[in-house]
């Protein structure tokens, strides 16, 4: 019989959902799942989501199963989970190969993830940001474009890949589709909708022919209402070349760090 292992545990406060969890360190089975990811983008994300779920040892009462986890966790929350799992796995110290942005000198630096960590956590109640709907209207000559925006959850991400996984969508289109829950075109004269899009294929078909100003205004609304809440791992280093010596600021990708930890 295997012993009852006591694993290191780390507490994570998700920056967007604001739910609090405890996660354990990675185990060999988690590493195997991650290494089995195919080159298809969602295969990697799906396995990361499942590894996070397997690492959770304490969770809010409303997170009853994996689907509830996906529906109540955002992409930026996932970054915080990965960071916390790395901390629980004793992966705080990282040796990184870097290149000076000014002179191109290559060097190796050691960084502490904890010292790089910055987070801006949503100030409201747990779950509030996920349930919030932001109404945005964009006036055109004869119509009003009305978009209902929501912060993208892992469930919405899964839905996006289900519908569009075989297509290489432009990043700006993908970003909008992740956030738009509903897209309506309203006739100014009658004040009635001439187009209502509530499912992803219809939303994409309605979105793509819209003028550029619509994308700009929706992108600004996403930035103003959702994008500021999250975490990052930024660190500074000085170029080692004597006649340069300039300060550089780099940001680490937590997903890259996760796969570095298991290889």
Return the structure tokens found at 50: 């499942």
- Yes or no: say if 10 and 87 are a contact pair by the CB < 8 Å rule: yes
* Over residues 22-34, mean pLDDT: 92
Same domain, 97 and 73: yes
Residues in the chain: 263
Per-residue pLDDT tens over the stretch 62-118? 999 999 999 999 999 999 999 999 999 998 999 999 999 999 999 999 999 999 999
The average pLDDT across 189-213 equals: 93
* Residue 146 sits in the same domain as residue 194: yes
| Same domain assignment for residues 76 and 30 | yes
**Number of domains comprising the chain:** 2
- Cβ(69)–Cβ(78) under 8 Å? no
Bridge partner list, 237:
248
Domain interval for residue 159: 132-227
Residues 160 and 238 in one domain: no
Residues 220 and 249 in one domain: no
Alpha helices for 180-211 (secondary structure H) = 200-207
Looking at every residue in the chain, the average pLDDT score rounds to: 92
136 close to 149: Cβ distance less than 8 angstroms: yes
> 38 pLDDT band (50/70/90 cuts)?
low
Q: Are residues 83 and 136 in the same domain?
A: no
pTM value is: 0.91
């Amino acid at each position: 019989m295997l012993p009852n292992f006591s694993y290191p545990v780390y507490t994570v406060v998700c920056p967007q959902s604001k739910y609090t969890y405890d996660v354990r360190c990675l185990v060999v089975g988690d590493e195997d799942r991650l290494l089995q990811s195919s080159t298809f983008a969602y295969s990697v994300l799906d396995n990361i989501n499942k590894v996070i779920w397997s690492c959770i040892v304490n969770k809010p009462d409303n997170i009853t199963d994996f689907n509830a986890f996906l529906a109540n966790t955002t992409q930026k929350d996932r970054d915080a989970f990965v960071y916390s799992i790395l901390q629980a796995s004793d992966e705080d110290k990282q040796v990184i190969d870097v290149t000076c942005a000014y002179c191109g000198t290559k060097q190796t630096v050691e960084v502490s993830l904890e010292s790089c960590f910055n987070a801006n956590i949503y100030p409201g109640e747990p779950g509030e940001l996920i349930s919030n709907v932001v109404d945005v209207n964009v006036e055109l000559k004869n119509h009003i474009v009305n978009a209902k925006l929501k912060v993208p959850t892992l469930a919405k991400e899964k839905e996006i890949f289900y519908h569009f996984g075989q297509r290489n969508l432009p990043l700006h289109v993908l970003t909008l589709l992740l956030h738009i829950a509903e897209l309506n075109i309203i006739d100014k004269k009658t004040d009635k909708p001439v187009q209502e899009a509530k499912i992803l294929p219809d939303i994409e078909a309605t979105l793509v022919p819209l003028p550029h100003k619509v994308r700009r205004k929706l992108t600004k609304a996403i930035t103003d209402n959702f994008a500021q809440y999250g975490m990052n791992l930024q660190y500074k280093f000085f170029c080692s070349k004597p006649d340069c010596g300039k300060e550089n600021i780099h940001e680490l990708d937590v997903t890259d760090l996760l796969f570095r930890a298991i290889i």
